[in-house]
Amino acid sequence: MNIVSTRGAERLVHVPLGERAYDILIGADLIKRAGGEFTARLRGRRAAIITDEHVGPLYLEALTDSLQTDGVETVSLTLPAGEKTKSLESLAAVTEMVLSARIERNDAVIALGGGVIGDLAGFAAGIVRRGVRFVQIPTSLLAQVDSSVGGKTGINSRHGKNLLGAFHQPDLVLADTAVLDSLSGREFRAGYAEVLKYGLIDKPDFFEWLEKNWKKVFEGGEERIEAIAISCQAKADVVAEDERETGRRARLNLGHTFGHALEAATEYDSRRLVHGEGVAIGMVLAHQFSARLNLASPDDARRIAAHLSDVGLPTRMSDIDGVLPPTEVLMSAIAQDKKVRSGKLTFILTHGIGQSFVADDVPASEVVGFLEDMRTR
């Protein structure tokens, strides 16, 4: 761990990637100081801010004021909120706007929003002039603990999610924890599933800490900053070891093979299931499946499910509204998941809380039997 305390409760996580190294600052009201943090780290004095129609009206003015006070010229583009915005059409709008604003290589594109805006703006920053500077100001909990760290950027294609993209690391990430107060309860809980994931991967102490402190994380204050800093550090550690996702980074997908299958099975209808909810159910399933294979104790799955229920997250397939498609349909979604190699199914399994590992030889028949048993429970 090398989380550094800066001012008061504020934290700094450094992502050591040589020439592409950068800092993640985590604290309340960082947007109001964005100008100073920007000019301390970037040479350019122009920025194109990309945001969405939910976040822009709340925080764009404060960000613009701060940047302009420190001598950074800004332009902005506000896009519709939601996953549909990760499209080629939006990419065209963003790149044309960035070029019109005469953003040069040392100037920056700033993403002010959740993971949708971060992925889209980051991809645009990666391809305009073969790469301009990029600053992430993630405003959803999911974006603060997951999508803004690691440099994966991209958009969706008609062929599927995130199929067009590039690695483009940010130069600075400002995670303003106070903006999470305007996030809906459901979106906050969904992001929390990803926070808990880091405990389940390899940090049993963090899992226990969350069991005790989760209410304070939801309320705000120092515990929220701490939980986000530990999560960013956890992701940064993995990214620093495996920047282009070849090996260790796979464990970040704990709960995601089942989760993605459930998202596909509900046709990505966010009224029925949002990503973090799929991950919550998926993490419980991964532990239950590990217990069924005699790798872990069933008590672990029960303990995780109890905590997720306290928080208000779903834990079972039957918690999803409406009828789920047959098991074969879930299986075909699992088989299409990118973690399948040469006919064998790859899953992130576990020996217990904080003891996950990559298993790449899971027989499909075991998964079918398991899902058949679980879908009605």
Ligand X SMILES: NC(=O)c1ccc[n+]([C@@H]2O[C@H](COP(=O)([O-])OP(=O)(O)OC[C@H]3O[C@@H](n4cnc5c(N)ncnc54)[C@H](O)[C@@H]3O)[C@@H](O)[C@H]2O)c1
Minimum distance of ligand X from residue 333's CB (angstroms): 16
- Residue 197: which H helix or E strand, with range? helix 185-202
- 14 is an active site residue: no
At a CB cut-off of 8 Å and minimum separation 6, what does 365 contact?
none
Nearest-angstrom CA–CA distance, 124 and 48: 11
Task: Supply the minimum distance, in Å, between the C-beta of residue 274 and ligand X.
Answer: 7
Which candidate, 69, 31, 66, 67, places its Cα nearest to that of 47?
Answer: 67
Residue 253 annotated to the active site? yes
Catalytic, 37? Answer no
- Name the minimum Å distance from CB 372 to ligand X: 29
With beta carbons less than 8 A apart as the criterion, state whether 162 and 213 touch. Answer: no
Catalytic residue status for 275? yes
Decide whether 111 or 330 has the Cβ nearer to ligand X: 111
Specify the pairing of strand 133-138 against strand 172-176: parallel
Spatial distance between the Cα atoms of 371 and 289, rounded to a whole number of angstroms: 9
Active-site residue among 211, 222, 245, 366? 245
- Helix (H), strand (E), coil (C) string for 135-153: EEEECCHHHHHHHCCCCEE
Q: According to the binding rule CB under 6 A, does residue 174 interact with ligand X?
A: no
Cα separation values, 325 from 105, 139, 333, 338, 374, Å: 49, 34, 11, 21, 13
Does residue 235 bind ligand X (CB under 6 A)? no
Q: Which stretch binds ligand X (CB under 6 A): 33-41, 107-115, 237-245, 353-361?
A: 107-115
Tell me which stretch binds ligand X (CB under 6 A): 100-108, 138-146, 204-212, 359-367. Answer: 138-146
Q: What is the DSSP string of 51-77?
A: EETTTHHHHHHHHHHHHHHTT-EEEEE
Does residue number 229 form part of the binding site for ligand X (CB under 6 A)? Answer: no
Residues 183 to 202 in contact with ligand X, rule: CB under 6 A: 183, 187
Catalytic residue among 11, 251, 256, 287: 256
Catalytic site includes residue 219: no
Q: Does 260 bind ligand X (CB under 6 A)?
A: no
Is 260 an active-site residue? yes
Report, as residue numbers or ranges, the catalytic residues: 130, 152, 194, 235, 245, 249, 253, 256, 260, 275
The footprint of ligand X (CB under 6 A) covers 52, 54-55, 58, 81-83, 86, 113-117, 119, 139-140, 142-143, 146-147, 150, 152, 162, 179-180, 182-183, 187
